[in-house]
Amino acid sequence: MRSDRIALKGLRARGRHGVLAAERELGQEFVVDATLFLDTAPAAASDDLTKTVHYGELAQALVGVVEGEPVELIETLAQRLADVCLAAGLVESVEVSVHKPAAPIPLPFDDVVVTIQRSRE
């Protein structure tokens, strides 16, 4: 089986995720990267959008998760995002990274990133 990739990188949305009360009250920007693994040959052969993943619609769905119900852990947020990606029936597996560049860490840092990989079972 072929394992082609469609990657959506740097998707930004504001969410209220975190353990601290201030994170939930004020919110902050999260950045999402999602790489979908699927066979794109049928879409390429037919030039038919219905045989692949509509990444514009996927982006909207992922932003809806980030902007939606708050969770404490970005690990939980990453799982919810992976679930959305896998809901597209053609996706065999997914890698999702959630960046939290404004995490409340009292030291200089560039980014906090949680990356998960999930497969259809």
100, 102, 103, 121: which one is catalytic? 100
Q: Tell me the CA distances in angstroms from 52 to 10, 48, 99, 118, one per residue in order.
A: 21, 8, 26, 19
Would strands 28-38 and 4-15 be described as parallel, antiparallel, or unpaired? antiparallel
- Catalytic residue at 9? no
- Residues marked active site are found at 100
